[in-house]
Amino acid sequence: MITAPKGTHDILPGDAERWQRLEEAARAVLGRYGYGEIRTPMFESTELFAKGVGQATDIVGKEMYTFADKKDRSLSLRPEGTAAVVRAVLEGRLYDGQGTLRLYYLGPMFRYERMQKGRQRQFHQLGVEVFGPASPELDAEVIDALMAFLGALGIEGSQLLVNSIGDGACRPVYRERLTAFIDSIADRLCEECLRRKETNPLRVLDCKNPACIAATAAAPSILDALCEPCARHFAAVCRALEVYGLAYRVEPRLVRGLDYYMRTTFEVVHGNLGAQNALGGGGRYDGLSELLGGPHLPGVGWAAGIERLLLTVPPPAAAAGVDTAVVAVGEAPMLKALALAQKLRQRGESVVMDFKGTSFKAQMKAANKCRARRALILGEDELQGGVVTVKDLASGEQRTIKEDEL
């Protein structure tokens, strides 16, 4: 038996309908904010992620599925969406230098991670990226779209965390301050954090290890280190969130794992998820376009994990079955039934037939199993009389009608 690769899973009928409903909700909600869909390739040149996400991140440093193609080009399965979307915007000149470009994507991402509840190696993200204005009110609108989407899914009890991680002017100062603090508690930190201290000390605040969380409890807050423009930006984001009526908590430890964020960062967490409690998150990345060789192009976005959303949404009502199950006993009735089923389908009905050639009783059982609303019964008697019997499977009520009245 060949099994699915570790960290992947099949989305089976029954479950797939839940995915479809989530995708419909995403399209409906994001449509109301003026987003258009973008679909980028599943793989990109490795360099894109090395530059655009950062070699020092776990995602690029440890988790990418990287391979050489037949011409020895280094390619990687995409581990996240933002770098690829920015690449596509620059390559396709999608942004005309004016106004606001709002894009969303939905699809699989790949990270070679340790498996856990809510953590796979192939997982799916819904994400948005907005380009143009560097306005704090846009940050709030982007967050509002995420919260509206969660609302449309019926997800309750999630918590919005927001923070600012400053910019090129104030973050280096904070970094130094934080590094000095980390040095003073270094003997209490995990190996990983000691490495992070060298590559990106802010990420020490991101560590999930309880000992590291305790050791860094008294770390200096980035919010005390923000320069004037960053502080003003953050205050304006919070003010706009209040206008939107969104409850939030300022979380100075929220630095997020990716190097390209600046100023606003945010995350939505949910208590039902265990250790991997983030439903989604994002932030502002005004420098990413230039990092990838493009012009200055401010951007802000988020990504949410679909598997985790589906772990959180309330269980759906029993899925609807088909409209009609055809029950035909005998060869001639069966052939007649083929034509009737086709006619009904052409009129938009969903119709199934059981081709096992089994008894009336077995076929009725199959009709119930697929939760058909009604059975269309056709035996030799019906065929002779030019009629069909229609049975309502919920009420049990049954009547015989002329075939052309069907």
**In whole angstroms, how close is the CB of 193 to ligand AMP at the nearest point?**
18
Long-range CB contacts (within 8 A, 24+) of 57-66: 57/200, 57/257, 57/258, 57/259, 58/257, 59/111, 59/257, 59/258, 62/112, 63/111, 63/112, 63/113, 64/110, 64/111, 64/112, 65/110, 65/112
**In whole angstroms, how close is the CB of 101 to ligand AMP at the nearest point?**
20
The residue within the footprint of ligand AMP, chosen from 120, 312, 324, 363 (CB under 6 A), is 120
Contact flag: residue 288 with ligand AMP (CB under 6 A): no
Structure tokens at 36: 């258009």
Structure tokens at 88: 């596509």
- Stretch of 273-281, 311-319, 337-345, 386-394 contacting ligand AMP, by CB under 6 A: 273-281
Contact flag: residue 303 with ligand AMP (CB under 6 A): yes
**In whole angstroms, how close is the CB of 206 to ligand AMP at the nearest point?**
11
Contact flag: residue 259 with ligand AMP (CB under 6 A): no
Nearer to ligand AMP, 35 or 260 (CB): 260
The residue within the footprint of ligand AMP, chosen from 44, 80, 259, 382 (CB under 6 A), is 80
The residue within the footprint of ligand AMP, chosen from 18, 21, 27, 119 (CB under 6 A), is 119
Give the C-alpha separation, 307 to 386, whole Å: 51
Measured in degrees and rounded to the nearest 5, phi and psi for residue 309 equal -60, -40
Query: Which amino acid belongs to residue 228?
Result: E
Give the C-alpha separation, 375 to 150, whole Å: 39
Contact flag: residue 86 with ligand AMP (CB under 6 A): no
- Stretch of 20-28, 152-160, 276-284, 332-340 contacting ligand AMP, by CB under 6 A: 276-284
Q: For ligand AMP, which residue has the nearest CB?
A: 305
Could you give the C-alpha distances from 315 to 73, 153, 318, 326, in angstroms and in order? 45, 11, 9, 30
Contact flag: residue 301 with ligand AMP (CB under 6 A): no
The residue within the footprint of ligand AMP, chosen from 132, 136, 281, 333 (CB under 6 A), is 281
DSSP string, 144-160: HHHHHHHHHTT--SEEE
Give the C-alpha separation, 291 to 52, whole Å: 7
Q: Pairing relation of β-strands 101-110 and 122-131? A: antiparallel
- Name the residue with tokens 């605040």: 205
**In whole angstroms, how close is the CB of 78 to ligand AMP at the nearest point?**
11
**Total site size for ligand AMP, rule CB under 6 A:** 18
The residue within the footprint of ligand AMP, chosen from 23, 113, 144, 206 (CB under 6 A), is 113
Contact flag: residue 125 with ligand AMP (CB under 6 A): yes
**In whole angstroms, how close is the CB of 203 to ligand AMP at the nearest point?**
12
Please give the residue ranges that form the binding site for ligand AMP (CB under 6 A): 80, 111, 113, 118-120, 123, 125, 257, 278-281, 303-305, 307-308
